[in-house]
Amino acid sequence: MSNRFRAADKYSPVNASLGNYGLPSYQLSFFDRITDPDKFLYAYYYPLMRLPSKSLFMNTQVPFTELDWTFAGPKETSEQTFRVRHSQNVNRFLNFGAIYDIVFDLGQYNYQRAVAKTFTLYSSYTGDQYKAYFSIGVNNITSFENGGIVSVNDLTLSNTRDVRTNLGALNLANSILKNRNILLVQRYFLISKPVLKTDTAAHKKSGFFGLSGTFTHIFIFESNARTYKDAKPASGFYDTIFVTPVITADSVNQRSFKNTVRFDFTTDETRKFRLGGGFGIRNEIFTFSHIIPIPFPFQATPSITHRISNVLLGKLYNSIGEKFGWVANGELYLTGYRAGDFDLNGEIAKSFNWKKGIATWLINGSISSTEPSFWYDQWGGNNFRWNNNFKKVFRIDLGTSFKIPARKTELKFNYAIIKNYTDFDSTAYPSQYSGGLSVAAVTLKNELRLWKFHLATDLIIQQSTNSSILDLPLATVRSAGYFEHLFRFAKTGGRLNTQLGVDVTYNTLYHPYSYMPATGRFYRQELVTAGDYPYINVFLNFKVKRTRVFVMFDHVNANLMGQSIRYNYFMVPTYPMNMRMLRYGLSWTFYD
């Protein structure tokens, strides 16, 4: 549906945010959360960013352009998003494309502005034996930090700009994240010559089972820099000042180079029994830099750390016919600061003929041992500093899912056992729980249809075995019920598709994470609960040929609930969600 336009909502159905789109957020679904240690600095912005891990290359017969634009609220507190995407082939082998995204959100509350500008330029060459894929990404994200509101009682004020915030005009606090990345993938195919036949059957390749191979080189560069500034660090918001009470100017930087060389092989894909696999090695070079605060006298010195690792890679897969297959992948860090880390994962897939199309049953599992992010061990700033030596995080994951695409239905079960779970405790400092922790989740994605009435639902049931370390909402649901009708205009031959409906988001009570602006991290707290409050949007969608338009009343039930939960619209403590606002947007595609 076109009214679900936010990139964060496409990544995971429900996200806890600071109330303003473009500010940091985390996923309510535990198994959707970003846990990769290399993504630590931008984990809470990941859905918004253009990164090598999310690169998508196109091959178009005609030029393709897409424009997306949305606007919400009055001018002084408005939210705007804009995206332009273009892809075009120079010839049948060479393609160029670009994507430019802007989120500009002034926010309903003071000092809450969010500005995200992301850009990627990509190209691909797909010859018969040589293929190359290249992309450059630029991500600039600025978040104004207001530290949350002072008192819930202020929400009774008619003007949201009159609500007091913990970090105000004297602080001018803000954080800036800058990411630059480059991806280059080169593949050279060793192809066996096909055995020609006089009939129309598929041509089989010669040699041992038609064996063919591919040499691949992958180069990835990433540079991440986070700065945090506060013009009045002695305002009383922070517990500690390590460097100076005059001004905060923290910075942390992370730069990485990753080079992978691998060889993959496969038997003839036209045969019923297909076997394939591969092996390779990856070299990783990281540079971490930050300041080391010295309590007295007030000063700070720079710290630069270089870390190198070498990783052995392996893959094996098998397909029998078109409806059964399995794949196994493995990584082992042989040398370097992550020596001993490993990740083994696999999946079994079985397809069935269903009443309407094909159904697929997947079984997956993984076992890993991972060094926590460097930033869990070392950090330096005006208000926070730590030097830890955390143990590796050991994790076992088991899962299964059943998909019926024709029914728009997917049912998933996930289970994880984690030892040395690492996060931030109630003091906003890193913490590692040495005991065992288990998490189980059942997820249902389904769309029901009765005549012209639709009900599209995402339901998540999840629980951990230790709520004091990891608290999760038992039930989270996002559901859209709408009436759909296609208007046909006989005289002009035009067609107008419309959807009128209600979108509801709800989760049960739990202890959500609080947020610390100085480090940009969410951390545990046990004083405040959130949930048991529905966020209701009313929307109207139109589609005419290649143009989609939506109009939506966001949070239409604000201040209309019962007195006990009237101002309970928090997903993160002290950061209220936006009040009622009118939102509209359009998407326009060109491909000729």
State whether residue 222 is helix, strand or coil.
Answer: strand
Angle formed at CA 474 by CA 473 and CA 477, multiple of 5 degrees: 80
The answer to whether 179 and 53 are in contact (CB under 8 A) is: no
The maximal CA–CA distance of the chain, rounded, in angstroms, is 87
| 3-state SS record for 451-472 | CCEEEEEEEEEEEECCCCCCCC
Among the listed residues 439, 433, 432, the one whose alpha carbon sits nearest the alpha carbon of residue 415 = 439
Distance CA 223, CA 460 (A): 35
State whether residue 292 is helix, strand or coil.
Answer: strand
The number of distinct structural domains making up the chain is 1
Count of C-beta atoms within a 10 Å radius of residue 392: 17
Distance CA 391, CA 378 (A): 14
Among the listed residues 186, 185, 188, 184, the one whose alpha carbon sits nearest the alpha carbon of residue 214 = 188
Distance CA 201, CA 413 (A): 41
Task: Tell me what pLDDT residue 196 has.
Answer: 46
Burial label for 56, CB within 10 Å (0-12, 13-18, 19+), is exposed
1 within some domain: no
Q: Check residue 267 and report its DSSP letter.
A: -
Distances (CA, A) of 436 to 34, 276, 393, 414: 20, 37, 11, 17
Q: Check residue 406 and report its DSSP letter.
A: G
Among the listed residues 181, 150, 198, the one whose alpha carbon sits nearest the alpha carbon of residue 46 = 181
Distance CA 437, CA 64 (A): 48
pLDDT values of the chain reduced to their tens digit, one per residue, 592 residues: 667 888 899 999 999 999 999 999 999 999 999 999 999 999 999 999 999 999 999 888 899 999 999 999 999 999 999 999 999 999 999 999 999 999 999 999 999 999 999 999 999 999 999 999 999 999 999 999 999 999 999 998 889 999 999 998 999 999 999 999 999 999 999 875 444 444 544 555 555 556 889 999 999 999 999 999 999 999 999 999 998 999 999 999 999 999 999 999 998 777 778 899 999 999 999 999 998 876 655 667 889 999 999 999 999 999 998 899 999 999 999 999 999 999 999 999 999 998 878 999 999 999 999 999 999 999 999 999 999 999 999 999 999 999 999 999 999 999 999 999 999 999 999 999 999 999 999 999 999 999 999 999 999 999 999 999 999 999 999 999 999 999 998 877 789 999 999 999 999 999 999 999 999 999 999 999 999 999 999 999 999 989 999 999 999 999 888 766 778 899 999 999 999 999 999 999 988 6
Q: Which two tokens stand for residue 562?
A: 């019962």
Distance CA 314, CA 330 (A): 5
Virtual torsion, Cα 562, 567, 572, 574, nearest 10 deg? -150
State phi, psi for 372 to the nearest 5 degrees: -60, 160
Q: Which domain holds residue 534?
A: 7-590
161 within some domain: yes
Task: Tell me what pLDDT residue 195 has.
Answer: 45
Q: Check residue 23 and report its DSSP letter.
A: B
Task: Tell me what pLDDT residue 205 has.
Answer: 56
2 within some domain: no
Burial label for 451, CB within 10 Å (0-12, 13-18, 19+), is exposed
The CATH number for 210's domain is 2.40.170.20
Count of C-beta atoms within a 10 Å radius of residue 143: 26
Task: Tell me what pLDDT residue 97 has.
Answer: 97
Distance CA 31, CA 397 (A): 10
Strand partners, 374: none
346 within some domain: yes
**Pairing mode, if any, of strands 581-590 and 212-230?**
unpaired
300 within some domain: yes
224 within some domain: yes
In one letter, which amino acid is 51? L
Is the pTM higher than 0.85? The answer reads yes
The answer to whether 589 and 66 are in contact (CB under 8 A) is: yes
For the stretch 486-522, what's the b/e string if a residue is b when 16 or more beta carbons lie within 10 angstroms of its beta carbon? eeeeeeeeeeeebbebebebbbeebbbbbbbbbbbbb
Distance CA 324, CA 129 (A): 28
Task: Tell me what pLDDT residue 503 has.
Answer: 97
Range 81-86 contact pairs with CB under 8 angstroms and sequence separation of 24 or more: 81/5, 81/6, 81/21, 81/585
Task: Tell me what pLDDT residue 295 has.
Answer: 62
